[in-house]
């Protein structure tokens, strides 16, 4: 009986120790199921940075285009600039255009056509008053004039 007890005790001690060593080696050797390898982690982090950055840039470009179309903003080096638009009908208008070289001409714009009308002389154009003499749209001088 003494011998049987010793063998059982020896097996009881070595079995948990063996299981612990197997568990420790498997935990050290293999990554848990929820983690990824370093290369997958790097690609994931780069995509997490690049995709929102691209979306922000595209959104800002769209906003810039929308603002430029809505308010007629053009760069200072635009080859042509619209000086005045005169509506002639539901889809027809006369447009006064100024080129970068200083040439001013009128263009007829229809639903499906654009037609050159004529060149304009300096006498044909209204002289712009100095900016300081024109009151702002919401100034007291301009508001009082409309009462």
List pLDDT tens digits, range 104-118. 999 999 999 999 999
| Greater model confidence, 73 or 41 | 41
pLDDT digits (tens, 9 = 90+) for 53-78: 999 999 999 999 888 878 877 666 77
| Greater model confidence, 27 or 63 | 63
What lies within 8 Å, CB to CB, of 27 at 6+ separation is none
> How confident is the prediction for the chain on average, in pLDDT?
74
- CA distances (Å), origin 58, targets 16, 54, 55: 61, 6, 5
| Greater model confidence, 29 or 51 | 51
pTM summary value: 0.39
Question: According to the model, what pLDDT value does residue 147 have?
Answer: 47
Nearest to 86 by CA among 42, 34, 126: 126
């Amino acid at each position: 009986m003494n011998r049987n007890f010793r063998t059982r005790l020896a097996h009881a001690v070595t079995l948990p120790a063996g299981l612990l060593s197997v568990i420790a080696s498997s935990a050290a050797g293999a990554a848990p199921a929820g983690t990824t390898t370093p290369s997958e982690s790097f690609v994931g982090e780069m995509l997490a940075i690049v995709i929102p950055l691209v979306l922000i840039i595209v959104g800002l470009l769209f906003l810039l285009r929308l603002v430029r179309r809505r308010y007629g903003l053009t760069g200072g080096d635009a080859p042509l600039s619209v000086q005045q638009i005169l509506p002639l009908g539901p889809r027809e208008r006369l447009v006064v255009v100024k080129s970068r070289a200083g040439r001013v001409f009128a263009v007829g714009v229809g639903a499906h056509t654009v037609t050159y009308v004529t060149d304009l002389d300096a006498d044909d154009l209204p002289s712009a008053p100095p900016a300081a003499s024109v009151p702002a749209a919401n100034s007291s001088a301009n508001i009082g004039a409309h009462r």
